[in-house]
Amino acid sequence: MAQLQAVSSSPSSKFVFHAHGAKRFESYQNRDKLFCLGRLSSNQELGARSSGLHGNAVVHQKGNLAQASASRVIQAVLTGEKETDVSSSPKSRGLRGKLNKVVLAYSGGLDTSVIVPWLRENYGCEVVCFTADVGQGIKEMDGLEAKAKASGACQLVVKDLKEEFVRDYIFPCLRAGAIYERKYLLGTSMARPVIAKAMVDVAKEVGADAVSHGCTGKGNDQVRFELTFFALNPELNVVAPWREWEIKGREDAIEYAKKHNVPVPVTKKSIYSRDRNLWHLSHEGDILEDPANEPRKDMYMMSVDPEDAHDKPEYVEIGIVSGLPVSVNGKELSPASLLTELNDIGGRHGIGRIDMVENRLVGMKSRGVYETPGGTILFAAAQELESLTLDRETIQVKDSLALKYAELVYAGRWFDPLRQSMDAFMEKITETTTGSVTLKLYKGSVTVAGRKSPYSLYRQDISSFESGQIYDQADAAGFIRLYGLPMRVRAMLEKGI
């Protein structure tokens, strides 16, 4: 078992890691990546199986701490200034049971900051905080080390998932044309499985026997996280504090935080509940809870008000290969960079604002406002290119499957074989969806200005109103008689003919 040691814990210093029996390698800390590891013990015994979803567990077998790969540095920050043994677990049993180590989906906000001491108190476990960078912005990443330490976490792991998120989750949904209930472009729905998958990986890397999240018992996200856990590692215990604890709201959480000396990152007054990633920004709560209320102008963050957008339109060309975007205005970009570029372009024209009342998976209706500037541009481009490359029945079948595809993603069934099989169909059917689309952006609107493809099924010599050799207009008479025969027979029956 390799032991990885951090030579220095200074925030601005250079970190050198030593792997016994492995090559020495070096890394640095930058603005949004934290590189620092404690010593990993090789003789840890772990293994606990939950007696239920609430994490009451008993040790039943021995296992070995998963070895960290020397080729893949786990980004982490430990609590102490000195070298910390992150594999040792508390001996005391918690109020609700005993777990060894829990990987917590951590944002640094009020809920997850409170969950850290709650897990330690109730399950007698070490808590490894995990933060996924899915493009939520540097501001939301700032200060996580200090917050995790203050909350009592033994370790903070940060992973940059932006490229994976766009490439492996967003683009397949785009290719499938997946839109939930006519409007929602699935921003949060797509992000949860990539985060949950990374949590399962981290749990293996640090030898955790449980995972935890801060989702409430009323929302969709609890389902999305836990279905991914079940699919990828059914042996992991899952702890969902909002379904267990006595904390009923934000005020209770603030009081609990003060009682346990956890710095409170917010005031008691809540404004909006937001979720941001590289694809979108969602807004819920406050005045939005009444569907009759118009959103305030100052609520939006990714896009300008269409009324205040540029008075001149902007044209943007999207290059697509086999149903997937590859370039903007002729410049090839990585998936995450491409989406970032389109967010900037669309945002300054007020593109991609959606206000909708949706049906949550758990049965209730909720009202949300979404900003998806780059995504709205990409969906428009993909649909316009498909109008050239796909025939009528293929589009109809694809659109019908897209509804089910979106429903599966919304419901957290990303790793369901059904979605994976449908994805294989979408990949096959869009093999020839290659070309470019030029769109006109103006004060919140996206309109097509042109589209072209080497695989276009559109033939000007056939479609032209001028006479052509391939299409004889006289043939239409026989076609209409045969096509309309069922209607004609029914009318004859009704009239007694």
Looking at residue 40, which CATH number applies to its domain?
3.40.50.620
Active site residues: 111, 192, 221, 273
Nearest to 336 by CA among 148, 162, 83, 120: 162
250 and 282 both lie in a single domain: no
Residues contacting residue 474 through CB under 8 Å, at least 6 positions apart: none
Task: Name, in order, each residue with C-beta under 8 angstroms of 300's C-beta and a sequence gap of 6 or more.
Answer: 283, 353, 371
Say whether pTM exceeds 0.85: no
Which contacts of 18-27 are long-range, i.e. CB under 8 A and separated by 24 or more positions?
Answer: 19/70, 22/70, 23/70, 25/70, 25/73, 27/73
354 & 206 share domain: no
Identify whether residues 448 and 483 lie together within a single domain.
no
Residues 196 and 327 in one domain: no
Within-domain flag for 280: yes
Alpha-carbon gap, residue 87 to 98, rounded angstroms: 16
| Any domain includes 288 | yes
Q: Are residues 226 and 292 in the same domain?
A: no
Coil, helix or strand for 432? coil
Q: Domain check: are 266 and 280 in the same one?
A: no
Enclosing domain of residue 247: 4-161+186-270
Give residue 142's pLDDT: 85
Tokens of 118: 């709650």
Reduce the DSSP state of residue 356 to 3 states and report it.
strand
- Classify strands 281-284 and 273-276 as parallel, antiparallel or unpaired: antiparallel
Look up residue 436 and give its two tokens. Answer: 């470019």
Q: Residue 338: enclosing H or E segment and its boundaries?
A: helix 335-347
Question: What pLDDT sits at residue 468?
Answer: 67
Among the candidates 236, 270, 304, a domain finishes at 270
330 with 475, same domain: the answer is: no
Per DSSP, helices labelled H in 233-300 are 250-259
The span from the first CA to the last CA of the chain, in angstroms, equals 89
> Which among 124, 186, 171 is positioned nearest to 152, based on CA atoms?
124
Q: Quick one: 298 and 153 in the same domain?
A: no
Tell me whether residue 421 is in a domain.
no
438: which 2 tokens? 């030029």
Both tokens of residue 406?
């979106």
Cβ–Cβ under 8 Å, residues 141 and 166: no
Q: Is the same domain home to 117 and 133? A: yes
Helix (H, G, I), strand (E, B) or coil at 72: coil
Q: Identify the pLDDT of residue 9.
A: 33
Whether 233 maps to a domain, the answer reads: yes
Amino acid, res. 355: D
Q: Does 440 share its domain with 464? A: no
pLDDT in tens, the chain (497 residues): 333 333 333 333 332 223 333 333 333 333 333 333 333 333 333 333 333 333 333 323 333 333 333 333 334 444 333 333 333 345 578 888 999 999 999 999 889 999 999 999 999 999 999 999 999 988 888 889 899 999 999 999 999 999 999 999 999 999 999 999 999 999 999 999 999 999 999 999 999 999 999 999 999 999 999 999 999 999 999 999 999 999 998 789 999 999 999 987 654 454 788 999 999 999 999 999 999 999 999 999 999 999 999 999 999 999 999 999 999 999 999 999 999 999 999 999 999 999 999 999 989 999 999 999 999 999 999 999 999 999 999 999 999 999 999 999 999 999 999 999 999 999 999 999 999 999 999 999 999 999 999 999 999 888 887 766 788 888 999 999 999 999 999 999 999 99
Phi then psi for residue 204, to 5 deg, are -70, -40
Determine the Cα–Cα distance for residues 174 and 385; give it in Å rounded to an integer: 13
When divided into structural domains, the chain yields a total of: 3
Residue 80's pLDDT is what? 36
The CATH number of the domain where 307 resides is what?
3.90.1260.10
Residues 142 and 204 in one domain: yes
Domain membership flag for residue 419 = no
pLDDT at 497: 92
Spatial separation of the C-alpha atoms in residues 187 and 180, rounded to whole Å: 10
Q: Are 201 and 324 in the same domain?
A: no
